[in-house]
Amino acid sequence: MSGLVEGQRALVVGVANKRSIAWSIARALDAHGARVALTYQNDRTERDVRRLAAELSGGTPVVPLDVQDDAQMDASIEAVATALGGLDVLVHAVAFARPEDLTGRFTEISRDGFALAMDVSAYSLIALAKRAEPHMRAAGGGSIMALSYIAADRAVPGYNVMAVAKSALECIVRYLAWDLGDGGIRVNAISAGPIRTLAARGIPGFSEMADQIAARTPLRREIVVDEVGDTGLYLASPLARAVTGETLFVDAGYHAMGL
């Protein structure tokens, strides 16, 4: 099928590199007719994001966006909405925690580290949704999606403070779904299985964990990043018009297993 999101206007926040889940969703949206805007966090990441943007169709807007900077969020969301002529889709793919708060004992997580992980990885969804809401209401509705992980529900050694942030993120998804639903705005999360992305390298023992999980999935395999991109496309499309407040697992069925 082609043109599933023809004419839609999408902002993808958090593209890091060509192997990232956010980039896979951006490519899927672009391939099916959406106009896509991308963000970069700082000068260090700008060049890579602009290089990726050049691979998309039709003059992709690229704006700076630090989710801890309210003034910049205001300016950047407005700039994207102006450049695209509105906003129909928001993809939240932002997460950060200090390395020391991902390793060691859970009781050693610092107060500052906990607050930082929650602010960047969870509260930022509220902040972005607040700014996207007027544009989506003006368009008659929209789709907001965030990226989660099974550690939101289960203890995954080495995920520590990020697991708490993802749990909060999924709760935020449900509350936003209720809050924004009267405007036709749907809010969902995608919980992907282990993917060998750059971000995953920061998780101690990730490769061994991915191997073990693949052996225990009903499909007996790892997932690939484009499978998550296709799920993002589905959530943005009219095919998911009655789906909101959900966490969709894209993990080859691992979440359904008791082992």
Q: Which of 40, 149, 234, 254 is catalytic?
A: 149
User: CB–CB of 103/196 below 8 Å?
Assistant: no
Interatomic CA distance for residues 171 and 188, integer angstroms: 10
Integer-rounded Cα radius of gyration of the chain: 17
Q: Which of 40, 159, 234, 254 is catalytic?
A: 159
Give the tokens for residue 259: 């082992």
Query: Strands of 35-40's sheet, edge to edge?
Result: 62-64, 35-40, 9-13, 89-92, 142-148, 185-192, 247-250
Interatomic CA distance for residues 48 and 199, integer angstroms: 15
Is residue 159 annotated as a catalytic residue, yes or no?
yes
Is residue 254 annotated as a catalytic residue, yes or no?
no
Catalytic annotation, residues: 149, 159
